[in-house]
């Protein structure tokens, strides 16, 4: 039964392909292209297969028109086609990629051509402008219009006589260029998606799976307290202690269990937040991290929750943690445009490194970590203010030669060899801050290591004095 269906499908496909071949024979007979025009199409096709470079493909397209037909031409493409899905761009703009036109004041301007992409081939100034079209749907779609994805504009200008320009040939030649360019775009996007998925797996491992091993410790601690509860129960049954002794023990154990529950619940909340931020559908659709930004209180939503999360870990390592002097109830909010899930992971990476690498100060033999928040008026262009968040930790200073490489992927400083790590966290941090239009860096403050990031914030909300 299944074999019969396969044979039936093959026959249908064979009939369809056969009809399309015959249609094309008729089309080419009607086109009546000259031998030279056919040669040009064949040579373009052959060399397009030979050249791996997209820039050479652009150059090939304009030079074939010049060498064979004495046509000056300019090839424009959308600036976003290699970053987003074909045919989708929120702010379309064209970039000139190749030209055989002598530059002068009468040349086409990219911003003049945007509207022409959505029109039929036509004359504009001295140029015959053809939209470059790719395919943006699955094969067999009945809606041909929805399959067309505008990629750019190919503009032709005869060097001497406008009557020499064969408009039909220019359209068909542009179609061949569009097919080749479309294939390059798909190939580039596929590689971007593969690269992103590999990076995403690394990010999940570093930001979620490895930190989630802390759950094991929390569960072990919870189990220990449950055992203590069991011992207390049997002690009460055997020894029948006084009311005061019982209530004191029960109160202490209840408080300990409540604290344990709170820490486990907060850890669960953060793990869920991180996974949601890393596994959004939009990331996979575009093959890159896509921010889901909103106007948020930096301290309330990002800084303080992460500091609270790492407080117990600091205590376990005998690290004295100093929080920013900030009161949510009385101090003015610092509002930033941020993706809470991804920016929280930036802060978590800083704190995780501080837990691992903070060492005692030479004089007091105390391990110290200090978080500071500072407003930087007019820090960014257009007089936009910034907020600087720093995490300052005691211990030996990072070697100057290592410092310049700290935010490179897979790099580990010479002082990190005694701790487990991948060298990926700070690279992730750098990417996320860059996507938030911010800055990141390392500096020495008070003979201590300081990692910081700076985010833009409006002057009306960046006025807190911390």
Question: 451 with 422, same domain?
Answer: yes
For residue 146, pLDDT beyond 80: no
The side-by-side arrangement of strands in the sheet containing 319-322 is: 319-322, 367-376, 385-393, 448-457, 439-445
Q: How confident is the model at residue 37 (pLDDT cuts 50, 70, 90)?
A: very high
User: Above pLDDT 90, what percent of the chain?
Assistant: 42
State if pTM tops 0.85: no
Question: 12 with 94, same domain?
Answer: no
Q: How confident is the model at residue 184 (pLDDT cuts 50, 70, 90)?
A: confident
| Position 149 in a domain | yes
| pLDDT tens-digit series, residues 50-95 | 998 899 999 999 999 999 999 999 999 998 766 544 444 456 789 9
Q: What is the CATH number of the domain that holds 181?
A: 3.30.450.40
Question: 55 with 145, same domain?
Answer: yes
Nearest to 125 by CA among 97, 173, 164, 162: 162
Which of 279, 299, 334 is the last residue in one of the domains? 279
Q: How confident is the model at residue 138 (pLDDT cuts 50, 70, 90)?
A: very low
Question: 184 with 113, same domain?
Answer: yes
Distance from C-alpha of 36 to C-alpha of 42, rounded to nearest angstrom: 10
HEC secondary structure over the chain: CHHHHHHHHHHHHHHHHHHHHHHHHHHHHHHCCCHHHHHHHHHHHHHHHHCCCHHHHHHHHHHHHHHHHCEEEEEEEECCCCCCCCCCCCCCCEEEEEECCCCCCCCCCHHHCCHHHHCCCEEECCEEEEEEEEECCCCCCCCHHHHEEEEEEEEEEECCCHHHCCHHHHHHHHHHHHHHHHHHHHHHHHHHHHHHHHHHHHHHHHHHHHHHCHHHHHHHHHHHHHHHHHHHHHHHHHHCCCHHHHHHHHHHHHHHHHHHHHHHHHHHHHHHHHHHHHCCHHHHHHCCCCCCCEEEEHHHHHHHHHHHHHHHHHHHCCEEEECCCCCCCCCCCCEEEECHHHHHHHHHHHHHHHHHHCCECCCCCCEEEEEEEEEECCCCHHHCEEEEEEEEECCCCCCHHHHCCCCCCCCCCHHHCCCCCCCCHHHHHHHHHHHCCCEEEEEEECCEEEEEEEEEECCCCCCCCC
Distance from C-alpha of 168 to C-alpha of 39, rounded to nearest angstrom: 16
| pLDDT tens-digit series, residues 294-344 | 999 999 999 999 999 899 889 989 999 999 877 666 567 899 999 999 999
Q: What is the mean pLDDT of residues 36-56?
A: 93
Nearest to 379 by CA among 270, 263, 458, 435: 458
Which of 259, 279, 299 is the last residue in one of the domains? 279
Ramachandran angles phi, psi of 338, nearest 5°: -150, 150
| pLDDT tens-digit series, residues 206-227 | 788 777 777 777 788 887 888 8
Question: 267 with 127, same domain?
Answer: no
Nearest to 347 by CA among 384, 305, 314: 305
Q: How confident is the model at residue 437 (pLDDT cuts 50, 70, 90)?
A: very high
Torsion sign over Cα 333, 335, 340, 344 = negative
Task: Please give the torsion angle defined by the CA atoms of residues 359, 362, 367 and 373, in that order, rounded to the nearest 10 degrees.
Answer: -100
Distance from C-alpha of 393 to C-alpha of 449, rounded to nearest angstrom: 5
Question: 318 with 378, same domain?
Answer: yes
| Position 204 in a domain | no
Question: 15 with 101, same domain?
Answer: no
| Position 440 in a domain | yes
| Position 269 in a domain | yes
What is the per-residue pLDDT for 326? 73
Q: How confident is the model at residue 250 (pLDDT cuts 50, 70, 90)?
A: confident
Ramachandran angles phi, psi of 262, nearest 5°: -60, -45
Question: 298 with 325, same domain?
Answer: yes
Name the token pair of 141: 């779609």
Name the token pair of 221: 């601690």
| pLDDT tens-digit series, residues 105-128 | 467 888 888 888 888 999 998 899
| Position 208 in a domain | no
Name the token pair of 8: 């039936």
What is the per-residue pLDDT for 4? 64
What is the per-residue pLDDT for 346? 95
Distance from C-alpha of 394 to C-alpha of 445, rounded to nearest angstrom: 10
| pLDDT tens-digit series, residues 276-294 | 999 999 998 888 899 999 9
- Total residue count of the chain as it appears in this document: 466
| pLDDT tens-digit series, residues 366-416 | 999 999 999 999 999 888 899 999 999 999 899 988 889 999 887 877 766
| Position 205 in a domain | no
Question: 347 with 452, same domain?
Answer: yes
Distance from C-alpha of 62 to C-alpha of 66, rounded to nearest angstrom: 6
For residue 238, pLDDT beyond 80: no
Name the token pair of 308: 């609270």
Q: How confident is the model at residue 3 (pLDDT cuts 50, 70, 90)?
A: low
What is the per-residue pLDDT for 361? 79
Question: 421 with 296, same domain?
Answer: yes
Q: Check if the beta carbon of residue 43 is closer than 8 Å to that of residue 60.
A: no
Q: CB-based contacts of 149: which residues, under 8 Å, 6+ apart?
A: 86, 87, 133, 134, 135, 136, 182
Number of structural domains found in the chain: 4
Q: What is the CATH number of the domain that holds 341?
A: 3.30.565.10
Distance from C-alpha of 368 to C-alpha of 321, rounded to nearest angstrom: 6
Distance from C-alpha of 449 to C-alpha of 259, rounded to nearest angstrom: 32
What is the per-residue pLDDT for 302? 94
Q: Check if the beta carbon of residue 370 is closer than 8 Å to that of residue 424.
A: no
Indicate the angle between helix axes 304-316 and 243-278, nearest 10 degrees. 120
Question: 26 with 47, same domain?
Answer: no
Token pair 């060899």 in the structure block, residue: 417
What is the per-residue pLDDT for 337? 94
| Position 197 in a domain | no
Which of 279, 303, 334 is the last residue in one of the domains? 279
Question: 182 with 329, same domain?
Answer: no
Nearest to 182 by CA among 54, 305, 313, 8: 54
| Position 338 in a domain | yes
Q: What is the mean pLDDT of the chain?
A: 83
Q: What is the mean pLDDT of residues 151-169?
A: 84
Query: Which range marks the domain in which residue 7 is found?
Result: 1-32
């Amino acid at each position: 039964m299944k074999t019969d269906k396969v044979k039936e499908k093959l026959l249908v496909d064979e009939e369809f392909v056969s009809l399309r071949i015959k249609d094309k024979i008729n089309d080419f007979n009607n086109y009546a292209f000259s031998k030279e025009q056919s040669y040009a199409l064949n040579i373009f096709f052959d060399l397009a297969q030979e050249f791996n470079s997209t820039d050479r493909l652009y150059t090939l397209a304009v030079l074939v028109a010049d060498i064979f037909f004495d046509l000056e031409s300019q090839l424009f493409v959308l600036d976003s086609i290699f970053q987003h899905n074909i045919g989708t761009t929120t702010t379309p703009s064209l970039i000139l990629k190749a030209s055989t036109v002598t530059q002068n004041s009468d040349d086409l301007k990219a911003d003049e051509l945007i509207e022409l992409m959505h029109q039929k081939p036509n004359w504009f100034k001295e140029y015959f402008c053809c939209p470059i079209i790719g395919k943006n749907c699955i094969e067999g779609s009945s809606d041909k219009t929805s399959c067309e994805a505008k990629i750019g504009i190919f503009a032709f200008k005869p060097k001497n006589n406008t009557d020499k320009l064969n408009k039909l040939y220019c359209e068909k030649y542009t179609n061949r260029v569009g097919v080749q360019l479309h294939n390059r775009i798909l190939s580039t996007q596929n590689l971007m998606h593969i690269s992103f998925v590999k990076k995403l797996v690394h990010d999940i491992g570093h930001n979620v799976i490895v930190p989630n091993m802390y759950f094991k410790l929390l569960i072990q601690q919870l189990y220990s307290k449950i055992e203590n509860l069991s011992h207390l129960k049997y002690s009460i049954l055997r020894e029948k202690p006084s009311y005061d002794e019982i209530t004191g023990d029960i109160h202490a154990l209840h408080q300990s269990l409540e604290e344990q529950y709170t820490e486990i619940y907060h850890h669960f909340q953060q793990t869920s937040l991180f996974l949601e931020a890393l596994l959004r559908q939009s990331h996979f659709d575009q093959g890159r991290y896509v921010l889901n930004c909103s106007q948020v209180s930096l301290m309330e939503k990002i800084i303080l929750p992460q500091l609270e999360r790492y407080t117990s870990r600091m205590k376990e390592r005998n690290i004295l943690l100093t929080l920013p002097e900030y009161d949510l109830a009385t101090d003015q909010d610092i509002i930033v445009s941020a993706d809470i899930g991804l920016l929280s992971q930036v802060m978590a990476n800083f704190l995780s490194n501080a837990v691992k690498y903070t060492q005692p100060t030479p004089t007091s033999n105390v391990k110290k970590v200090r978080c500071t928040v500072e407003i930087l008026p007019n820090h960014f262009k257009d007089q936009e203010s910034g907020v600087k968040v720093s995490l300052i930790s005691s211990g030996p200073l990072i070697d100057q030669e290592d410092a310049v490489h700290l935010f490179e992927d897979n790099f580990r400083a010479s002082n990190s060899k005694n701790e487990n790590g991948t060298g990926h966290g700070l690279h992730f941090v750098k990417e996320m801050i860059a996507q938030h239009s911010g800055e990141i860096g390392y500096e020495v403050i008070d003979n201590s290591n300081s990692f910081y990031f700076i985010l833009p914030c409006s002057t009306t909300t960046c006025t807190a004095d911390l």
